[in-house]
Structure 1
Amino acid sequence: MHRRAPSFHPGLMTDMYHPDSAYVSWRSGGNGLTTFDLYTRTAPFGGAYLLVAGLEAALEFVQAFRYTPEELKFLAHIRDYDAAFLDELAELRFTGEILALPEGSIAFPNEPLIRVTAPFREALLLEAGLLQAIGLSTLIATKASRIVYAAEQGHTRRVAEFAFRRAQEPMTVARASYIGGCASTSLLNAAYEFRLPATGTVPHALIEMFPTEEEAFEAIAAAYNRYTLLLDTYDQRQAIHTAIQVALRSQETLGHTLAAVRLDSGDLVADSIYIREQLDKADLGNVRILASGDLDEWKITELVQAGAAIDSFGVGTTLGYGAGSLEQGIPGGALGAVYKEVWYVDEAGTEYPKMKIAGAKSTWPGKKEIYRHPNWQEDIVQLAHEPRPDSYHRLLRPVMRNGEMIPGSLPPLSEIRELAQENLKKLPPEYRALNVEQPYPVHFSEGLQALRRQAAQLVGRENGLLNGA
């Protein structure tokens, strides 16, 4: 039985409560100009920073957002909306403004990654799609940057992304991992689409197909000018001697070169040291040793600190879904980004700061800007109308105005990766570390703090939360 591939319906890329809420807004007549901030309250993986990614997907989603007749028919089937409301949805397009941190930027908790200003219903309906686009890519890019950082300590070691078979969104993972510093991907579709370097070795099944490991190695060596051999199908210490014999013969008879050997299991420290010694004795010092197998930034750190003779790492599963670590007691799998209303202008032009009062989850009202000290000593979040601090750099950039993309808002992936790597190098070492003692200092301006107090008092009066109300 043929199964049709799922189709993409931008107007339905919302949660159920978004059109429901838009309907209440429509019935009540409230659709004033509204500002939302998208941000996180904490940095992922026990670190200090976020490596921002996903803006391209987010803006493509915004541009594509609309309701087709088929989608409106579906909405009418599952909910008894007024026909005039569905008529409005048929014409709905994003007409607002978006400011965002460019992909490859470094951000910290409580800083807006995206600032959206539009009529209430437009801005609200975009919530889930924006969170998904920014949240997943930023999670994976940050994870990749941490893995690359662990691999490069004291020595230049490349990291290859091997996540396809376990990634929840393989194309997104490959792109974000490249931004984060991975040198290549194993997924050919991603290599084609994003023009990424593609790398891979061979599976155990190919070795097992031959009667002996030597015959398998011979076949691989004969097939390629430069080749990689997988050593741990049976016994990696015996396999390296077979690999050396085959490498020397193929070099002599065919001119083919053994470029690398891969270990996917076993004692990676002891085995890699042994294999390096054997390769060096055979005058094969240029052969790289690649390790893979359920690796993450903490395991790679342990290998490097233990003196493993590993030149590069292949990382799949933990990159594929942005995993945390049970051993380290660190959660992962989601960024935890939120999208909160911070400002509202009603139809009469009256402006209102908006905030949620919920203890540590209380929000910061107002249209904001972020400024960074030139030497990364602090970031300041302040109201948009407050003057820029002397010599500080503005971080948010306009990317959409009047519903139209601003030219240059989506640079090539190669430029995004370059910006990311430059920013990671500038990030002070104490905040680049896998586990941090103190968070990066993010300060809120006096004007923003005063507005928050004002908004809290306003919310308290209107909802009877103040003493004596």
Structure 2
Amino acid sequence: MNRRAPNYHPGLMSDMYHPDSAYVSWRTGYNGLTTFDLYTRTAPFGGTYMLVAGLEAALEFVQAFRYSDKELEFLARIRDYDASFLDELAQTRFTGEILALPEGSIAFPNEPIMRVTAPFREAILLEAGLLQSMGLSTLIATKASRIVYAAEKGRTRRVAEFAFRRAQEPMTVARASYIGGCASTSLLNAAYEYRLPATGTVPHALIEMFPTEEESFYAIAEAYNRYTLLLDTYDARAAIHKAIEVALRTQETMGHTLAAVRLDSGDLASDSIYIREQLDKAGLHSVRILASGDLDEWKISELLEAGATIDSFGIGTTLGYGAGSVERGIAGGSLGTVYKEVWYVDESGTEYPKMKIAGAKSTWPGKKEIYRHPNWEEDVIQLSHEPHPEGYQRLLRPVVRNGEIIPGSLPPLSEIRELAQQNLEALPARYRALAPEQPYPVRFSDGLQSLRKQAARLIGVDLD
């Protein structure tokens, strides 16, 4: 969500059925304290984990949520709501509590990334905005972490985010990619807003504008103290010799340095090997080779296994929308986050576990906590009142209380990135692999399993 756009209306950042549900709640008087879990059933891209991101955007949405007079007029035009219900919406603000995994945390399927407790109408009206904020950012951060992991095989290789022109939400993508480990962004607006390093090369159009490739290279070399040349406009192997000639001459006459060359098409593995050989023969050992062109974690891994001498990667399209892999039958483009009711307290104070029974889409009732073994041997999902497992780390953190963001809940982006990289480094390699052999063990406590059976019996279903 572009929260600074003039057409951003927080109260309308919902699906139609959310105010419709709130209206039924209002008419029937059911508005007890309700707890919802936000989570995903599977990890994206065939992996085991999610790198959590998007909490800052989610909480900004929560704080901004309200209906203006014009928005209420709009709702009255499209639905025959009672005027008293619209009066209530005019006063609606979030008054509940939210617990969440901090941005930069590692999460696994079925673990609540966020736990929301509030009067039913408040909680249901926030559903879509929270799902969108957390889902997209977590998807992109996870994708970026996988790409960086593939690129760093054997040694450190920088990954630059080049996704602006094809990204679903460019600012969100730039921020989440940085959390996931990307070193820079090509989007100047994101660099300005988030204080990120900005990087870029040159387009083919600039090379083509000149009568010859040599003239374009000289023009670029003369314009900048440190510069990058794009080699694949016509013939990359022929271009490297022209680039070397330009580099040596401008280094001698102007002191300008060829920092890198970029390949965007062709046989990246064999061309990079040839180009590295020519650069080294010319004594240009410090010149880096940058590769781009619809790359992802799997293609990067294949390139490096083939011996490609690539020093850094620019990733655009596949990062911009969290792409999967058609060739490998791996879905992408969406995290598939869900927001499910798990606990309800009616106006008399009576508590009810809530669950959905639908095969693989069945839910787990109860207000939950997540605890992690210090050596990443397992995570335990349990009821909030169950004893803290000795030595385990509690993962959910209070971030909103009585409708207000708790101070310290939104650290600077630099700290979020640092936490993310620490967690990714600590995650055992077998669970960070692009194609893991086994999922990370997540255990449901005995108390939670017992409550699930109890909740099922309340709705006439026997799970035994």
Measured against the shorter chain, the TM-score band is over 0.9
Alignment of 1:65-464 (within 5 A): 65-460=65-460
Q: Which amino acid aligns with 2:146?
A: R
TM-fit CA distance, 1:436: 1.2
For residues 186-219 of structure 1, the C-alpha deviation after alignment (integer angstroms, 9 at most, x for no partner) is: 0000000000000000000000111111110000
Conservation of the 8 A alpha-carbon contact between 2:456 and 2:462: no
Q: Say which SS state the counterpart of residue 342 (structure 1) adopts.
A: strand
Shift of 1:223: 0.4
- Kindly provide the amino acid, as one letter, of the partner of residue 196 in structure 1: L
Provide the C-alpha distance between the structure 1 equivalents of 2:84 and 2:75, rounded to a whole number of angstroms.
13
Counterpart residue identity of residue 34, structure 1: T
In the alignment, the residues of structure 1 paired with residue 322 and residue 257 of structure 2 have an alpha-carbon distance, to the nearest angstrom, of 35
Alpha-carbon deviations, 1:383-440, whole Å to 9, x = none? 0001100000000000000000100000000000000000000001110000111110
Q: Secondary structure at the match of 1:298?
A: helix
- Counterpart of 1:310 in 2: which secondary structure? coil
CA distance in 2, matches of 1:360, 1:283: 60
Distance (Å, rounded) in 1 between the aligned partners of 2:16 and 2:161: 35
Q: Give the partner amino acid of 1:192.
A: Y
5 Å matches for 1:35-50? Answer: 35-50=35-50
Describe the SS at the equivalent of 1:440. coil
CA distance in structure 2 between the partners assigned to 1:450 and 1:436 by the alignment: 31
SS in 2 for 1:437: coil
Q: Verify the 8 A CA contact 2:52 2:105 in the aligned structure 1.
A: yes
Q: What is the aligned-residue RMSD (CA, Å)? A: 0.9
Report the alpha carbon displacement of residue 103 of structure 1 after superposing the two structures with TM: 0.2
**Alpha-carbon distance between aligned partners in 1 of 2:437 and 2:6, rounded to the nearest angstrom:** 46
Q: Deviations over 1:233-284 (max 9, x none)?
A: 0111110000000000000000000000000001101100000000000000
How much does 1:466 deviate? Answer: 6.3
2:370 partner letter: I
SS of structure 2 residue aligned to 1:48: coil
Count matched residues: 459
**3-state SS in 2 of match to 1:168:** coil
1:382: how far off? 0.3
| Matched residue type, 1:334 | S
TM-score by length of 2: 0.98
Q: Could you say which residue in structure 2 is the equivalent of 1:23?
A: 23
Q: Indicate the percent of aligned positions where both proteins have the same amino acid.
A: 84
Does structure 1 retain, via aligned residues, the 8 Å contact 2:371–2:392?
A: yes
* One-letter amino acid of the structure 2 residue matched with residue 150 of structure 1: A
Q: Cα deviations across residues 304-363 of structure 1 (Å, max 9, x unaligned)?
A: 100001000000000000000011110000000000000000000000000001111110
Could you tell me which amino acid in structure 1 is paired with residue 366 of structure 2?
G
Work out whether residues 453 and 462 of structure 2, in 8 Å CA contact, stay in contact via their aligned partners in 1: no
* Shift in Å, 1:12: 0.2
Corresponding residue SS for 1:111: coil
Letter in 2 for 1:74: F
Q: How far does residue 369 in structure 1 lie from its aligned partner after superposition?
A: 0.3
Amino acid aligned to 1:455: A
Q: Secondary structure at the match of 1:285?
A: coil
CA deviation profile, 1:135-190 (whole Å, cap 9, x unmatched) = 00000000000000000000111100000000010000000000000000000000
Determine the C-alpha separation between the residues in 2 that align with 1:62 and 1:459.
32
How far has the Cα of 1:457 moved from its partner?
0.4
Separation in 2, partners of 1:316, 1:227: 21
d(CA) in 1 for partners of 2:214, 2:358: 66
Offset of residue 6 of structure 1:
5.6
Amino acid at match of 1:438: Q
Aligned mates of 2:81, 2:272 — CA distance in 1: 65
In structure 2, distance between residues paired with 1:6 and 1:340: 31
SS of the residue corresponding to residue 39 of structure 2 reads: strand
TM-score, normalization by structure 1:
0.97
Q: Shift in Å at residue 95 of structure 1? A: 0.2
Question: Helix, strand or coil: the match of 2:459?
Answer: helix
- Where in structure 1 do 4 or more consecutive aligned residues deviate above 4 Å? none
| Aligned counterparts of 2:80 and 2:327: Cα–Cα separation in 1 | 50
Quick one: distance in 2 between partners of 1:435 and 1:39? 22
